[in-house]
A = this chain, B = another copy of it.
């Protein structure tokens, strides 16, 4: 892995799919390029928004390789490598490390529920030890509304003590600012980088000593979220925060992952962006039109997306 510190606005980038259900790496890397060219400090590849767990191990590796082949700046990217099976999480994290991604965003194993802290500690320990790369940087992925397996303060404390170098931070997608703040207050002083799971508390995050946000909505709104981050200490930043929250508010009225793909398809002029993998279902046309009307009303655009999508594959 690269040892660049990840910071700021990171888009949890969506993964387009081919007709046969496999990841469409050509479109995927075009969106990735667009996002880094339009304000994102980094990307989170193959997270929840990237439908990582809906792809096989080989498919996930193929997406990771495509990023490398497209010469995207992997030192500004973390990649989701969590899995229900420890062996899979180890294999994916090792591959991320070998390719030079800046970090690995690791879900806890998410099939069994109500599992003991010791079991989760062993899972993350096995990942760190079996990858065995000093440069490995693990970000713990707390997303109880989806995984239903929380990462507790006590677990973070134990992992930081055991692997102070490798345990680099957290993505907190509990959508509860008080929880994120408690993680920052407890662990930021040890160099543990806490990212909010969306941009709604971005300014609060930065002012409190957090590392920024990793956001699904940054797939469609990278520029303004990045601007909010840069101007966080100014009245203009506060105003921008209000506007990006309005955009997020519109998106939250729909099922987020297919809705984001619908928006990319719409502003990118490329209908091939709409499909999702089961168990998700693409946005219905009537809902999509309704959503776009609401975004248009806010003055929302995705400048340059059409051109970015039209570039020939490398």
* Complexed CA–CA distance, A92 and B113 (Å): 24
**Structural contact, B84 and A278, CB atoms closer than 8 A:** no
Task: Mark A142-169 against chain B: 1 for CB-CB distance below 8 A, else 0.
Answer: 0001111100000000000000000000
Task: Mark A73-96 against chain B: 1 for CB-CB distance below 8 A, else 0.
Answer: 000000000001111100100000
**Structural contact, A111 and B54, CB atoms closer than 8 A:** yes
Stretch from A28-36, A63-71, A120-128, A287-295 contacting the other chain: A120-128
* Complexed CA–CA distance, A147 and B22 (Å): 24
**Structural contact, B281 and A111, CB atoms closer than 8 A:** no
Residues of A within 8 A of B (CB-CB), count = 39
A21 touches B (CB below 8 Å)? yes
Task: Mark A254-297 against chain B: 1 for CB-CB distance below 8 A, else 0.
Answer: 00000000000000000000000111110000000000000000
Q: Provide the main secondary structure of the chain A interface.
A: loop
Chain B contacts of A118 at CB under 8 A?
Answer: 281
**Structural contact, A277 and B86, CB atoms closer than 8 A:** yes
Chain B contacts of A55 at CB under 8 A?
Answer: 85, 87
The 8 Å CB contact of A54, one of B22, B108, B109, B147, is B109
Chain B CB count within 10 A is highest, among A85, A109, A147, for: A85
Q: Which residue of B lies closest to A108 (CB)?
A: B279
**Structural contact, B111 and A110, CB atoms closer than 8 A:** yes
Q: How far is the CB of A52 from chain B (nearest CB, A)?
A: 9
A53 touches B (CB below 8 Å)? yes
A132 touches B (CB below 8 Å)? no
Chain B CB count within 10 A is highest, among A21, A53, A112, A281, for: A112
4 closest A-B pairs by CB: A119-B279, A123-B278, A115-B279, A53-B111
Further pairs besides A84-B84, A109-B278, A122-B278: 15, Cβ < 8 Å:
A21-B126, A48-B111, A53-B85, A53-B111, A54-B85, A54-B86, A55-B87, A57-B57, A59-B85, A110-B111, A111-B147, A113-B145, A115-B281, A123-B278, A149-B279
- Chain A residues close to B by CB (< 8 Å): 21-22, 48, 53-57, 59, 84-88, 91, 108-113, 115-116, 118-120, 122-123, 126, 145-149, 277-281
Name 26 interchain pairs, CB-CB below 8 A, sorted by A: A21-B86, A21-B87, A22-B87, A53-B109, A54-B109, A56-B85, A56-B88, A57-B57, A59-B85, A86-B278, A108-B279, A110-B110, A110-B111, A111-B146, A112-B279, A113-B146, A115-B279, A115-B280, A116-B279, A116-B281, A119-B279, A120-B279, A123-B279, A126-B278, A148-B148, A149-B279
